[in-house]
Amino acid sequence: MRLDFDTDGGIGTRATLGVIVLETDETLEPEFARMTDLDGVALYHSRIPMVSEINPDTLSRMARDLPASVRLLPPSLAFDVIGYGCTSASTVIGSENVARAVQSVFPNARVTDPLAAIIAAARGLDAKRLGFITPYVPEVSQQMQSALEQAGFDIGGFGSFEEGNDRVVARITEQAIMAAAVRVASAAPCDALVISCTNLRCLRIIPEIEALTGVAVISSNQALAWHMLRLSGIDDALPAFGRLFSRS
């Protein structure tokens, strides 16, 4: 027998979000699942090819693969915001070029990336001077530091794990990240502490770092999720994810 059915507006009654995740990333999806677990918010992922070795050449190659990865998101959906989940590649490729590539497939979607989101987050927190932590090799760290300085921020304390293999980055312990955060924050006064890289496991320890250092923490995944939600009109306060999530 043929059964009757009704239809509705689908899952994303408040917002429909898409995020492009690196092939090598092991951290973004679990952290995003927590931050976007809100009624009426739908989150969809696609993956983009990426080798484990992080350097400017491998990062820049993703520019050509972005449109194909975006096309793997459900074409029937009207995405409110699409995020590109790589901090270092956003710096190398440029946020404007990331947006252009994404909007070549979904022209009506708003677009952000971790670099753009970190800048928006720091401004939202009224931060002028940033402590800065990365896992990157020096050349990549320097490019991102320059991008933040060009956006108008001063960099106080800085430290890097200087690890080029993304698989290793995903296994840096929360305890090591916390110790690094405390060390960098104590090296020089800062208004906020940026912990860069979507593959670093930061989300669970953000409140503890803020309590230990006395300053707001901005991590790549946290900032990207916050920016995507705010751009889509979702203004829910989620204090479990740090001071940033109290800001519009």
CATH of the structural domain 116-220, one choice from 1.20.120.330, 1.10.238.10, 3.30.470.20, 3.40.50.12500: 3.40.50.12500
> What count of other Cβ atoms lies within 10 Å of the Cβ of residue 162?
12
Percent of the chain at pLDDT > 90 equals 88
pLDDT given at position 157: 92
Is 6 strand, coil or helix? Answer: coil
Angle between the N-to-C axes of helices 28-35 and 220-231, in degrees from 0 to 180, rounded to the nearest 10: 40
Say if residue 92's pLDDT is above 90: no
Q: Are 201 and 172 in contact (CB under 8 A)?
A: yes
pLDDT given at position 164: 84
Residue 60's pLDDT band (cuts 50, 70, 90)? confident
CATH class assigned to 15-113+223-241: alpha beta
Q: Are 160 and 200 in contact (CB under 8 A)?
A: no
**Which is more confident, 37 or 9?**
37
Angle between the N-to-C axes of helices 220-231 and 114-124, in degrees from 0 to 180, rounded to the nearest 10: 80
Cα 86 to Cα 211: distance, rounded to the nearest angstrom: 27
pLDDT given at position 59: 74
Q: CATH 3.40.50.12500 in the chain, residues?
A: 15-113+223-241, 116-220
Average pLDDT in the chain? 95
Percent of the chain at pLDDT > 70 equals 98
> What count of other Cβ atoms lies within 10 Å of the Cβ of residue 164?
17
Q: Are 127 and 153 in contact (CB under 8 A)?
A: yes
Cβ neighbors of 110 (< 8 A, separation 6 or more) are 80, 81, 82, 231, 232
pLDDT given at position 247: 87
Q: Are 222 and 198 in contact (CB under 8 A)?
A: no
Spell 49-72 as b/e; 16+ CB within 10 A means b. ebeeebeeebbebbbebbeebbee
Cα 149 to Cα 77: distance, rounded to the nearest angstrom: 37
DSSP conformation class of 163: -
Structure tokens at 9: 């507006």
Only one residue has tokens 């979607």, namely: 109
State residue 18 phi and psi, 5-degree precision.
-125, 145
pLDDT given at position 52: 65
